[in-house]
Amino acid sequence: MKWMAAAALMLAPVLAWAQSNGTCPELNDASLKWGQRQGANYTICYLELPSSLGTGTGLGVYLGQRSFKPAKKARAEKGTVGSQAVIWHKKATVGNARPYSRETVISLPGEKPKSKVKVYVWIDAASQEQLDEAFGLARQISAQ
Whether residue 144 is contained in a domain is answered as: no
Q: What is the pLDDT of residue 22?
A: 60
Could you report the average pLDDT of every consecutive run of 10 residues in the chain (144 residues)? 38 45 78 89 90 84 81 86 90 81 79 66 92 93 61
User: Measuring CA to CA, which residue among 78, 82, 76, 73 is closest to residue 119?
Assistant: 82
In a domain, residue 47? The reply is yes
Tell me what pLDDT residue 92 has: 81
Range of the domain at 47: 2-139
Number of domains present in the structure of the chain: 1
What pLDDT was estimated at residue 107?
67
SS3 labels along the chain? CHHHHHHHHHHHHHHHHHHHHCCCCCECCCCCCCEEEECCCCEEEEEECHHHCCCCCEEEEEEECCCCCCCHHHEEEEEEECCEEEEEEECCCHHHCCCCCEEEEEECCCCCHHHCCEEEEEEECCCHHHHHHHHHHHHCECCC
Within-domain flag for 104: yes
Q: Whole-model pTM?
A: 0.77
Note the pLDDT of residue 52: 82
Res 116: pLDDT: 61
According to the model, what pLDDT value does residue 112 have? Answer: 57
